[in-house]
C-alpha cells in the first residue's frame, strides 16, 4: 500500500488486548494511555458491572473498545462495541 515500509508499519496498528479472563493488562493500558476508570466506564457501557466478568476486551485499531463477556447463567457470549470520543495515537 505504501512505498516506504517503515511508514507503512507505523500507519498500520494492531489491536491491543486490554483485559483477558477478568484481568486488566496494566502494561497495555499504560501504552495506549487508557486509565482504569476509562476502562471501567467502557465495561459498564456494555452492561457489565465488573472487570472480573469480562472474558476479553480489545482496543481496536479504529478506536473502538470491543468487549466479550461470558454470562454464566444463560451460557451466552455477548459481543458489543463502543466508539471512543477521542481517537488516541499510541506510538
pLDDT exceeds cutoff 90 at 28: yes
pLDDT at 63: 83
Q: Is residue 59 over pLDDT 80?
A: yes
pTM for the complete prediction? 0.67
Say if residues 65 and 84 touch (Cβ distance below 8 Å). yes
Residue with more model confidence, 69 or 25: 25
Q: Is 73 helix (H, G, I), strand (E, B) or coil?
A: coil
Give the model's pLDDT for residue 8. 60
* Rounded-to-5 percentages of helix, strand, coil across the chain: 30, 30, 40
Amino acid at each position: 500500500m505504501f512505498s516506504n515500509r517503515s511508514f507503512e508499519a507505523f500507519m498500520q496498528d494492531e489491536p491491543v488486548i486490554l483485559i483477558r479472563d477478568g484481568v486488566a493488562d496494566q502494561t497495555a493500558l499504560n501504552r495506549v494511555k487508557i486509565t482504569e476508570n476509562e476502562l471501567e466506564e467502557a465495561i459498564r457501557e456494555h452492561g457489565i458491572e465488573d472487570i472480573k466478568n469480562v472474558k476479553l476486551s480489545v482496543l481496536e485499531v479504529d478506536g473502538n473498545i470491543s468487549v466479550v463477556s461470558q454470562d454464566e447463567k444463560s451460557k451466552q457470549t455477548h459481543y458489543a462495541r463502543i466508539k471512543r470520543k477521542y481517537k488516541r495515537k499510541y506510538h
